[in-house]
Amino acid sequence: MSVLERLRGQLVVSCQADPGSPLRDSYIIGRLALAAELGGAAGLRVQGFADVQAVRAVTALPIIGLTKTDRNDTDVYITPTSAEAVRLAELGAEIVALDATLRPRPEPLQNMFAAVRAAGAQVMADISTLEEARAALDAGADCVGTTLAGYTPYSRALTTPDWDLMDELRAAGLPFAAEGRISLPEQAAEARRRGALFVVVGSAITRPDVITRWYAQALDG
């Protein structure tokens, strides 16, 4: 069974912590991954070489690996180069996630996809529009993710999941993972009903500072 088939209909938990977070430690990320597995996660989305290595050491669940790299020459932020993508695969990520938006990028998507595949991993192309999804799949991606919907200047700016994009992807028959602003179990279930291959949830599960802020702001209001 392919890794995407293993994830079909399941929950993937994003275990990440930004610089400055009290959780910003690879050991802690590994503990978050184990807690997610205990709760029923079928896969994990993990950022950075050290964290991928730490998570791979404690669990056999499929890992979607990525990097986040600020560059002066591009707005592409998620796994912008094939060197980073290949290293993630070498460290045990079965799927490599990368920015597949139509913005100017350091390397052509086809080259990056080929490098990931040669390293033995599959490609999750993070997109923000239907046009980008079609282009990424035509270039050889194994699936797309709605991760960047609302995070490019030309995509819909929303505070909720991009249900319209999910409907467009389903209508076009394109394999997609639902990710982005999914903060309730009911929203995860709705994403699955709208055709998502699997559902990725991060902040609502693994970022207690963000969750606390939601409650604090609600009380302030």
Residue 207's CATH number: 3.20.20.70
Strand partners, 77: none
Answer whether residue 14 is part of any domain.
Answer: yes
Distance CA 76, CA 66 (A): 13
Asked whether the beta carbons of 47 and 16 are under 8 A apart, the reply is: yes
Q: What per-residue confidence (pLDDT) applies to 1?
A: 81
Residue 38 burial (CB count, 10 A): 8
Per the confidence metrics, is the pTM higher than 0.85?
A: yes
Spell out the per-residue pLDDT of the chain, length 221, in tens: 899 999 999 999 999 999 999 999 999 999 999 999 999 999 999 999 999 999 999 999 999 999 999 999 999 999 999 999 999 999 999 999 999 999 999 999 999 999 999 999 999 999 999 999 999 999 999 999 999 999 999 999 999 999 999 999 999 999 999 999 999 999 999 999 999 999 999 999 999 999 999 999 999 97
Tally of helices (H runs) and strands (E runs) in the chain: 10, 8
> Which domain range does residue 207 map to?
10-220
Question: Taking the CB of residue 204, how many other CB atoms lie within 10 A of it?
Answer: 18
Q: From residue 9, give the alpha-carbon distance in Å to each of 31, 68, 95, 182.
A: 24, 27, 17, 15
Distance CA 184, CA 186 (A): 5
Is 2 domain-assigned?
no
Distance CA 176, CA 130 (A): 11
Report if residue 15 sits inside a domain: yes
Structure tokens at 138: 């035509």
Secondary structure (3-state) at 78: strand
Are 142 and 5 within 8 A, CB to CB? no
- Evaluate whether residue 113 is within a structural domain: yes
Asked if residue 4 belongs to a domain, the reply is no
Domains of the chain: total = 1
